[in-house]
Amino acid sequence: MSNYTNPLSMIAASPLSQAKPAKPSTWFEAMAQAWGEALDKQANSIQQQSDAISGGNDTPSAITELTAQSLKMGFLSTSSHTSVSTIGEALKTMAQKQ
């Protein structure tokens, strides 16, 4: 039995930096955090548009904009789930082959 370590698994688990513990420690965590930030930003955009409509700006164009923002949120949410899940499964497969 050899002590071979797959270099890709070492890269996936390697820390991005040692300076601040508040930051993600791996590129996988950084990717997940970036997706979370993108989703938060989109949710804030939807909230602002919704507040504008609730405040009386209930024109067809404002409602269409809100609908578009909501659809974008759905797209981002699906994309983030797919990318995190797919990469997580790939990392799991790499770890099992060691």
pLDDT tens for 36-52 read 999 999 999 999 999 99
With beta carbons less than 8 A apart as the criterion, state whether 6 and 88 touch.
Answer: no
Q: Sorting pLDDT into bands at 50, 70 and 90, what band is 14?
A: low
Q: Is the pLDDT of residue 98 over 60?
A: yes
Q: Give the confidence band of 21 by pLDDT, cuts at 50, 70, 90.
A: very low
pLDDT beyond 70 at 4: no
pLDDT, averaged across the chain: 84
CA distance 55 to 52: 5
Q: Return left, alpha or beta for 6; rule: phi > 0 is left, psi -120 to 50 is alpha, else beta.
A: beta
